[in-house]
Amino acid sequence: MMTVEELLAKYAEGEREFKQIDLRGADLKGADLSGVNLTNADLTGADLSEANLTGANLYQTKLNSAVLLQANLSHLEGNYIKLNQAVLNNVNFKEAKLSSADLSQATIENADFSFANLTSANLSFALLSNTNLSNTDLRSANLTNADFSGAKLTGADLRGAKLKDAYLKSVQMQKVDLSSVDLSYLDLMKSDLRGANLQDANLLRSILQSANLESAVLIGANLIRAKLDGANLQKANLTNANLYGVTTKNTNLNMAIMPDGKRYQPKSNEK
């Protein structure tokens, strides 16, 4: 079993290959390990707070319950990495490759995943408050019960994602792609969905009160019994959408394209 001292000494000498090493519980706070190859290594419970792992290869690396406060993992090669129950507050994951990564039950506050690849990743029950997921690829990701309080998902691709019981209230989701995604029963109150792609999405009984859906694409969407009170659907496209039983008190439908393909015409008593 390699010690932390041995690892750092070999790294300082120019060595970068440390595949399958066992560093469970290691203290690597502040370590500079940029470009290191830790494929299949076991760092379960390790402390990598403020460590520099820019461009590192952590393919299938075990970091379960690890602490990585303020670590830099930008441009990481981290497909299949194990980070469940890890503490990842203020971590830089910008442009990281995290396909099929396990981040279930992780604490991920104020982190930056912008432009990262999280396709098929498991983020179920993760706390993602105030995290930046702008332009992140989350296709087919498991986001069940994930908490996105204050998160930013602008331009993210969520096609095929599982969002059952996710917390998305007041979240920034401008131009997000949620086409054909199941959003039934979700609370999206006050969320910013301007320009979002919700074509063929299932919004059955969803709560969209005071949400901003200006210029959103809702072609063929299922909005049966959705709550749209106070929502802004100005210039939204609702062609072939199912609006049976929706509530629309104080809803702004100005210039919206309605299910019949025609522009919204306010009733005489609404003018």
- Say what the pTM is: 0.94
Whether the predicted pLDDT of 266 surpasses 90: no
pLDDT-derived band at 265 (thresholds 50, 70, 90) equals confident
Q: In whole angstroms, how far apart are CA 15 and each of 20, 23, 37, 54, 57?
A: 15, 17, 9, 16, 14
Whether the predicted pLDDT of 271 surpasses 90: no
Q: What is the mean pLDDT of residues 179-200?
A: 98
Whether the predicted pLDDT of 270 surpasses 60: no
User: Alpha-carbon distance 191 to 117, whole Å?
Assistant: 23
pLDDT-derived band at 216 (thresholds 50, 70, 90) equals very high
Q: What is the mean pLDDT of residues 77-92?
A: 98
Q: What is the mean pLDDT of residues 23-42?
A: 98
- Helix count (H) and strand count (E) of the chain? 1, 0
pLDDT-derived band at 52 (thresholds 50, 70, 90) equals very high
Mean pLDDT computed over every residue of the chain: 97
pLDDT at 253 (0 to 100) = 97
pLDDT at 10 (0 to 100) = 97
Alpha helices in 19-155 (DSSP H): none
DSSP string, 10-42: HHHTT--B-TT-B-TT-B-TT-B-TT-B-TT-B
In the chain, the percentage of residues whose pLDDT exceeds 90 is 97
pLDDT-derived band at 1 (thresholds 50, 70, 90) equals confident
Whether the predicted pLDDT of 51 surpasses 60: yes
Whether the predicted pLDDT of 269 surpasses 90: no
Q: How far is CA 206 from the centre of its chain?
A: 19
pLDDT at 268 (0 to 100) = 58
Q: In whole angstroms, how far apart are CA 8 and each of 13, 16, 63, 82, 253?
A: 9, 10, 18, 23, 62
pLDDT-derived band at 55 (thresholds 50, 70, 90) equals very high
**CA 75, 78, 80 angle in degrees (round to 5)?**
155
Please write the tens of the pLDDT for every residue from 93-144: 999 999 999 999 999 999 999 999 999 999 999 999 999 999 999 999 999 9
